[in-house]
A and B are shown apart, each in its own frame.
Chain A
Amino acid sequence: MTDRQKPIKVLLGKPGLDGHDQGAKVVARAMMDAGFEVIYTGLRQTPEQIARIALEEDVDVISLSSMAGSHIPFCRKLKPLLEANGLTDKLWVIGGNLPAQDHDALRELGFKGIFPSGSKLDAITEYIRSEVK
């Protein structure tokens, strides 16, 4: 537990053109049940939109749900935008269909929390709670 007064605020984004949002919505509900404030973006967010919402909403966590395989090119575009907006002190998390061979590349792109298909809901929320001070 932390001594935070405010709930943890999470941006949950659907990057790119992928329409598979069942998982993202399930994770959003789990986060809400864990007491987080969740801003779910809906589908088809550009890197610019994700960075803008993260900045404007002053979130603690920037999380993405990617199912259709374009996570690396998307995160490559997102990283400099988050950096330019001074969001490097936030926790960056990504989940979805993320092959094991891509995990190192995602870590190098700044994504500290990686939750591939099969991850448990409580593992995701507990991780966020432990990382956000």
Chain B
Amino acid sequence: MNAPQKPEMKKVINESGIEVKPLYTAEDVAASGGMEMVGDPGQYPFTRGIHREMYRKQPWTMRQYAGFGNPADTNQRFKYLIANGQTGLNVAFDLPTQIGLDSDDPLAEGEIGRVGMSIDTLRDFEIAFDGIDLKKITVSLTINGAAAILIAMYLAMAEKRGYDVKELRGTAQNDILKEFIGRGTWIFPVEPSIRLVGDTIEYCATHAPKYTPVSVCGYHIRESGATPAQEVAYAFCIAKAYADDAIKRGLSVDEFAGRLSYNFNIFGNIFEQVCKFRAGRGLWAKIMKEQYGAEKPGSMWLRMIAAGGGGGLTFEQPEVNIVRGAYYALISALSGTQTMALCSYDEAYTIPTEYSARLSLRTMQLLVEEMGLTETVDPLAGSFYVETMTNEMRKKMEEIMAEVDAQGGIVKMVAEGTIQAKVSAQAYGMQRKIESGEFPKVGVNCYKNEEEEDHPVEFHPYNEDDARVQIDSLKRIRAERDNAAVSEALTRLRADAAANRNVMPALVDAVKAYASVGEMTKELVSVFGRYQEPIRF
């Protein structure tokens, strides 16, 4: 039971590289830039929150990541979570779906339904969302490489169910640039990948104006080794790349910016995280107003999901992750997030069981029902420490964004692998610090259990039979559908991709004809090619 060595008054530098003082006063606030960027909630620059009443009006959406096996299995889990009070869905797809392979593709063998649900055609979406009220429960699709296809599928499914797509809310992750940095479900090379994101933004701006086609993810960049300040700064650089593409197409910023959202990570120092979000909100508003000329407040809002990240959880003493998750949820609430999700305590081992997913949900519900987190907006505002650190985090983010610009921009850095190499080197440095004990981690390098205990984690079972069921279902659909209509739709998709026309209308038609994810991806690959990963150390 060794406590980490903590010499008195040692200089403390947070992960973002900012010194943390033992005491903050009004003078520190003034020296860091004062209260100029604080303002009121619901008012520019929105540092204190994008809405005036925040959680008084509506608590954050609770959106645990879920999905496994075939669509019927996942539909059951969705209904279980909703029955337990979950207010949104966050859909996990298996790896073949995420990278555009059908379940009968030889490369999909052994991976079907393993880390998410398997989707081949519109029929699968019909089953997955059967009986779920898509007006009451908003759905977030965690899909990137194949996002344009799955967005088309979601819109088509909703339309078929009788929803007005113009009123339909929901989100797709659809942030391909971060997939090249971390998470790795890319398909096409960098340039056509950005073009596809642009196609979804452009299409949704007209056809599904309440749908959020992109959720830019600092989350996975942080998991890959970025600091909290880099996480936000890189995400903003990426969002600007998508915004620039949309503007090049002739859209005005106020036509699409209100439908961009963010996905950020939570682990580490509580105050650094809270200040990261407050700083990020002010900075994004400033960027949209000053650099892009946004006029609508909604275009300046940093809307986000702030999720308790797997990167902070440990393999050792997994039950302690329940407590970590509770702190992460607290940070998320103090940060004024719109949506919350938590990695469950068992996620270093397995995808969550019903039990652990419910526990994560209860953790959030505790904050709403018992802890008073929804009563007052931005409760940490006015603290000398929090306001100073918010100013300093914002400055740090601006510095990092300027460095990216100086190095040729985020798209170039991602394509060349320089961002990947940078965050990976940092991840290695952090792992060394954890192994040496320099960076304390409870249960890992301090307060280790004297004796190895059997971990109390129950594994989510993988049903080998799900793959066979899924492949049989795909074969049946291929036999029953109008294959002439499919072939016509796929030909049009290929032509539109080659002619640099927006592919979304062709994708929606192909999806409605029950073309499969793999078939549509193949057409796009034939035009765009495949990404070749730069390996840089």
Chain A residues packing against B (C-beta within 8 Å): 16-22, 25-26, 28-30, 32, 40, 42-44, 46, 68-70, 72-74, 97, 99, 116-118, 120-122
Contacts and interface: CB of A to CB of B under 8 A. Distances in A.
B424 interface: yes
B114 A69 contact: yes
Q: Which of A21, A25, A117 has the most CB of B within 10 A?
A: A25
A48 B184 CA distance: 21
A17 B424 contact: no
B371 to A, nearest CB: 32
Question: Per DSSP, are chain B's interface residues mostly helix, strand or loop, or mixed?
Answer: loop
Nearest to B109: A73
B428 A29 contact: yes
A35 to B, nearest CB: 15
A28 B428 CA distance: 9
B80 interface: no
Q: Which 7 A-B pairs have the closest CB atoms?
A: A19-B184, A73-B110, A17-B95, A118-B315, A42-B533, A29-B428, A117-B315
Contact of B427 (A22, A46, A72): A22
Contacts of A17: 95-96, 98-99, 101, 107-108, 111
B447 interface: no
A108 to B, nearest CB: 17
A126 to B, nearest CB: 13
22 contacts: A16-B110, A16-B111, A19-B95, A19-B182, A21-B182, A22-B182, A22-B224, A26-B424, A26-B427, A29-B424, A30-B431, A40-B537, A42-B535, A43-B184, A68-B95, A68-B111, A69-B114, A70-B111, A97-B349, A116-B315, A117-B315, A121-B431
B439 interface: no
Contacts, number: 85
A19 B185 contact: yes
A77 B108 CA distance: 13
Contacts of A43: 184, 533
Contacts of A42: 533, 535
B468 interface: no
Given A17-B98, A68-B95, A68-B114, 12 more contacts: A17-B96, A17-B101, A21-B184, A22-B182, A22-B427, A29-B428, A44-B99, A73-B109, A99-B350, A118-B315, A120-B435, A121-B432
Contacts of A16: 95, 110-111
Interface string B182-213: 11110000000000000000000000000000
Question: Per DSSP, are chain A's interface residues mostly helix, strand or loop, or mixed?
Answer: loop
Contacts of A73: 109-110
Nearest to A123: B435
B223 interface: yes
A117 B184 contact: no
A121 B435 contact: yes
Contacts of A99: 349-350, 459
B228 interface: no
B348 interface: yes
B425 interface: yes
B459 A25 contact: no
A46 B101 CA distance: 14
Interface string B100-144: 010000011111001100000000000000000000000000000
Contact of A20 (B99, B114, B183, B444): B183
B106 to A, nearest CB: 9
B424 A22 contact: yes
Interface in B482-534: 533
Contacts of B254: none
B225 interface: yes
Contacts of B350: 99
B316 interface: yes
A26 B426 CA distance: 9
B537 A28 contact: yes
A22 B537 contact: no
A118 B441 CA distance: 12
Q: Which of A19, A21, A72 has the most CB of B within 10 A?
A: A19
B92 to A, nearest CB: 11
A26 B435 CA distance: 13
Contacts of A30: 428, 431
Contacts of B114: 68-70
Nearest to B532: A42
B53 interface: no
B115 A69 contact: yes
Contacts of A97: 348-349
A99 B444 CA distance: 18
A55 to B, nearest CB: 19
A17 B186 CA distance: 11
A22 B310 CA distance: 12
B173 to A, nearest CB: 13
A68 B427 contact: no
A44 B428 CA distance: 22
B465 to A, nearest CB: 14
B1 to A, nearest CB: 19
B427 A25 contact: yes
